[in-house]
Amino acid sequence: RDHARRQVSRRAVAAGQRSGGALQQQLLEQKLAAPPAASVFVCSSSPSAARLQRRGFWTRRARPRLFDIEGLEAPRDFPRLASEAVEGAKRDLSNAHQKTALELVSALDNASNGLCRIADAAELCRNVHPNQDFVAKASEGVQEIAGYMGDVNLDRGIYEGMRRAEKGEEFARMPSEARAVLHHMRVSMEHEGVHLPDKEKAACLQL
């Protein structure tokens, strides 16, 4: 009788183990099939997590800039950007007398865009900004660009390059817009007196 009881007990334990194993297997399968839970906390001790946190923090904070101009964030930036615009225009217009008609139009367009982008913003700023530091530095930027543009308007090398380009064969094949740009800029320089003899040009500048 005791032997029979032991046999029954062993069979019950074995059945229970099989039942428990099946239950564990079922729970495991349910866990794997369930969608992953959203992570609420990120372990800051993880290097990759820390880098992601820092990167996310910085990328959410855009640097302020005035008039949507890159690098224009403080009053001191106006003179610096004006100087950079002038230097860029000098590079564009260097050896203007050796450029083809299309190259000259492109150089004039690039130089004008670079200068006016900063000069227009500075002109607006010095007229409407409530902060006098911005007003003063914007005025410095306007004066530097205006001074350079005054020199360009009397640059004999650029003027002669325009005249030569208008007389060349390439001029007739250029788009009408490019021809108009070259013509009107040459006329504008003549209004400034670039074509006058030096004595008359000096008198014109005095006026």
Mean pLDDT of the region 153-177 = 92
Task: Give yes or no for a contact between 62 and 91, defined as CB atoms under 8 angstroms apart.
Answer: no
pLDDT higher than 60, residue 12? no
The answer to whether residue 30 scores a pLDDT higher than 60 is no
> What is the rounded average pLDDT for all residues in the chain?
79
Residue 195, pLDDT > 70, answer yes
Token pair in block for residue 156: 């004999």
Higher pLDDT, 48 or 100: 100
Distance CA 51, CA 116 (A): 41
Percent of the chain with pLDDT over 70: 69
146-174 mean pLDDT: 92
Where does the pLDDT of residue 201 fall: very low under 50, low under 70, confident under 90, or very high at 90 and above?
A: confident
| Cα→Cα distances 190→35, 108, 193, 201, Å | 77, 16, 5, 10
pLDDT of 99 over the 50 cut: yes
Residue 143's pLDDT band, with cuts at 50, 70 and 90, is very high
Identity of the amino acid at 89: A
Both structure tokens of 33: 């099939």
Non-local CB neighbours of 78 within 8 Å, separated by 6+ positions? 72, 118, 122, 125, 134, 137, 138, 140, 141
Residues 6+ apart with CB under 8 A from 195: 159, 189
Q: Say if residues 81 and 67 touch (Cβ distance below 8 Å).
A: no
Tens digits of per-residue pLDDT, 83-98?
999 999 999 999 988 8
Q: What is the pLDDT of residue 197?
A: 85
